[in-house]
């Protein structure tokens, strides 16, 4: 069963690349983004380096140069090609990277068929969740790249539902007192979701849906980007220096936005996305509210299933909600007011894989819930995503909270 999961997740990546030319897969549009080709090779290298080389007897490395080229940030594994230069490596070709994937996949299948140890099974699970993270990044990085093109090209034909009517926002009273947060159970989780521990919540309320394009446009039209009182100091410096006046992919006319389907008329009832933390925070202040903490969010999800608008729906864009949908999963990652710090008693994984999560625990903010480009099976209520507060190229939006 792990083998079939392996094959299906690996295949999903290939399908993401299918609409792309070698040109599309090679270019890097900013230091934070990577070329599709690099993603394709890196997630393969992850299996080769952490599973096949240590655990598959007789495995032959595909190409000894690839470790240097496709390691991301595992310093303890060895040196690596500088991240902002990933787009300069035109060789190996895209075709050779696919050959690399084939080589590794065959070896992985042999290993998974041969009564793998629990170590190997854990590492394979980790590799697949890692691959799913990069599936999301392939799409967000590609969106950034296509946006550089003045012709605003489409990635592929996406599913679009007819526009829906707006729905009122209701408030759910947050549970008071002590709660448990963090991962519980037998399935997979990342180290940063552990250990499960008790926290104390103050009384608060949570909005039952996401903020929409229409609401965010009101904020803009009310002068939100010109009123320093609404902004954190760093945020004000950022929007002033960068001359930000709107979400990242909105057109100047505030009537259209760039999507993976090309430039489209904006649906005012669709959740607003591609906001920085600063913008989400400023909007919340303008609305007389605040962002939720990550624990308020996690407690709020209690009992909700991970249904929503994920990558599988091929919308590749958030959708206006239907009447009762709380939108906690899918659509957009929700900025919280919680900084990314370790849980009490946190222990990173041993060895190089300990570099996966723990070392990023400074200056980043927690986002929760997954997005329209997240694979559905990748998300959990306890899942902690994290980005710098000025990051906007992810599908990031917001839900309001308030003290009561």
Q: Which stretch binds its own copies (CB under 8 A): 42-50, 124-132, 158-166, 353-361?
A: 353-361
Among 198, 222, 245, 312, binds its own copies (CB under 8 A): 198
Q: Rule CB under 8 A: say whether 229 interacts with its own copies.
A: yes
Give the footprint of its own copies on residues 16-55 (CB under 8 A): 21-27, 29, 37
The C-alpha atoms of residue 285 and residue 287 are separated, in whole angstroms, by 5
Q: Does the footprint of its own copies cover residue 242 (CB under 8 A)?
A: no
Task: Work out how close the CB of 65 gets to its own copies at its nearest, in angstroms, rounded to a whole number.
Answer: 6
Q: Is the omega angle on the peptide bond into residue 92 within 30 degrees of 0, that is, cis?
A: yes
Contact between 77 and its own copies by CB under 8 A: the answer reads no
Say if CB 25 and CB 37 are below 8 A apart: yes
Residues numbered 282 to 341 that lie near its own copies (CB under 8 A) are 337-339, 341
Identify which of residues 164 and 179 has a Cβ nearer to its own copies in the complex. Answer: 179
Contact string (CB under 8 A) for its own copies, positions 139-168, x = contact: ------xx-xxxx-x---------------
Contact status: 233 vs its own copies (CB under 8 A): yes
Closer to its own copies by Cβ: residue 231 or 310: 231
Q: Tell me the HSE value of 152 on the side-chain side, using a 13 A CA sphere.
A: 12
Stretch that binds its own copies, among 90-98, 210-218, 260-268, 371-379 (CB under 8 A): 90-98
| Least Å from the CB of residue 29 to its own copies | 5
Any contact of residue 72 with its own copies (CB under 8 A)? no
Q: Check binding of 268 to its own copies (CB under 8 A).
A: no
| Nearer to its own copies among residue 255 and residue 403 (C-beta) | 403
> Which one among 164, 261, 342, 349 touches its own copies, defined by CB under 8 A?
342
CB of 62 to its own copies, least distance (A): 14
Q: Is residue 212 near its own copies by the rule CB under 8 A?
A: no
CB of 218 to its own copies, least distance (A): 22
- Over the window 369 to 398, marking each residue x when it contacts its own copies by CB under 8 A and - when it does not, the resulting string is --------------------x---------
For the bound state, the minimum distance from the C-beta of residue 268 to its own copies, rounded and expressed in Å, comes to 29
Q: Among 123-131, 191-199, 266-274, 368-376, which window interacts with its own copies (CB under 8 A)?
A: 191-199
Total residues contacting its own copies by CB under 8 A comes to 66
State how far the Cα of 386 lies from the Cα of 388, in Å rounded to an integer.
Answer: 7
178 binds its own copies (CB under 8 A): yes
SS (H, E, C) the chain: CHHHHHHHHHHHHHHHHCCCCHHHHHCCCCCCCCCHHHHHHHHHHHHHHHHHHHHCCCCCCCCCCHHHHHCCCCHHHCCCCCHHHHHHCCCCCHHHHHHHHHHHHHHHHHHHHCCCCHHHHHHHHHHHHHHHHHHHHHHHHHHHHHHCCCCCCCCCCCCCCCCCCCCCCCEEECCCEEEEECCCCCCCCCHHHCCCEEEEECCEEEECCCCEHHHHHHHHHCCHHHCHHHCCHHHHHHHHHHCCCCCCCECCCCCEEEECCEEEECCCCCECCCCCHHHHHHHHHHCCCECCCHHHHHHHCCCCCCCCECHHHCCCCCCCCCCCCCCCCECCEEEEEEECCCCCCCCCCCHHHHHCCHHHCCCCEEEECCCCCCCHHHCCCCCCEEECCCCCCCCEECCCEEEC
Q: Which stretch binds its own copies (CB under 8 A): 8-16, 40-48, 117-125, 194-202?
A: 194-202
Closest Cα to residue 306, out of 192, 382, 367? 382
Tell me the C-alpha to C-alpha distance, in Å, between residue 83 and each of 31, 32, 74, 175, 383: 7, 8, 12, 43, 26
> 385-387 and 365-368 as β-strands: parallel, antiparallel, unpaired?
antiparallel
- Name residues contacting its own copies, limited to 92-121 (CB under 8 A): 93-94
Q: Which residues bind its own copies (CB under 8 A)?
A: 21-27, 29, 37, 65, 68-69, 73, 75-76, 81, 85, 87-91, 93-94, 145-146, 148-151, 153, 178, 197-200, 202, 204, 228-229, 231-236, 277-278, 281, 337-339, 341-342, 344-345, 354-355, 359-363, 365, 389, 403
């Amino acid at each position: 069963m792990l083998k079939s999961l392996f094959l299906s997740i690996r295949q999903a990546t290939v399908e993401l690349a299918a609409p792309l030319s070698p040109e599309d897969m090679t270019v890097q549009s900013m230091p934070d983004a990577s070329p599709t080709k690099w993603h394709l090779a890196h997630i393969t290298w992850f299996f080769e380096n952490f599973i096949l080389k240590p655990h598959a007897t007789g495995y032959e490395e595909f190409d000894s140069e690839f470790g240097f080229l496709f390691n991301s940030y595992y310093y303890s594994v060895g040196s690596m090609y500088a991240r902002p230069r990933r787009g300069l490596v035109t060789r190996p070709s895209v075709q050779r990277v696919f050959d690399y994937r084939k080589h590794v996949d065959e070896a992985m299948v042999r290993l998974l068929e041969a009564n793998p140890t629990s170590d190997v099974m854990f590492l394979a699970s980790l590799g697949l969740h890692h691959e799913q993270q990069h599936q999301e990044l392939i799409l967000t990085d590609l969106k950034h790249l296509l946006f550089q093109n003045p012709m605003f090209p489409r990635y592929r034909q996406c599913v679009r539902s007819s526009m829906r009517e707006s729905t009122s926002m209701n408030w759910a009273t947050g549970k008071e007192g002590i709660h448990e947060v963090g991962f519980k159970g037998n399935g997979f989780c990342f180290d940063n979701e552990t250990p499960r521990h008790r926290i104390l919540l103050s009384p608060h309320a949570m909005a039952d849906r996401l903020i929409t394009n229409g609401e965010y446009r009101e904020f803009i039209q009310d002068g939100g980007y010109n009123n320093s009182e609404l902004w954190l100091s760093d945020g004000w410096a950022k929007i002033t220096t960068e001359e930000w006046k709107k979400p990242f992919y909105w057109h100047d006319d505030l009537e259209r936005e760039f999507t993976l389907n090309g430039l489209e008329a904006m649906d005012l009832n669709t959740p607003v996305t591609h906001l920085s933390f600063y913008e989400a925070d400023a909007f919340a202040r303008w609305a007389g509210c605040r962002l939720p903490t990550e624990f308020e969010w996690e407690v709020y999800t209690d009992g909700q299933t991970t249904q929503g608008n994920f990558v599988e729906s091929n919308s590749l864009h958030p959708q206006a909600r239907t009447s009762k949908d709380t939108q906690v999963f899918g659509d957009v990652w929700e900025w919280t007011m919680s900084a990314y710090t370790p849980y009490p008693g946190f222990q990173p994984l041993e060895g190089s894989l300990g570099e996966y999560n723990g070392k990023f625990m400074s200056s980043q903010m927690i986002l929760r819930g997954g997005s329209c480009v997240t694979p559905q099976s990748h998300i959990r209520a306890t899942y902690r995503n994290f980005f710098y507060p000025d990051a906007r190229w992810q599908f990031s939006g917001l839900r309001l909270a308030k003290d009561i």
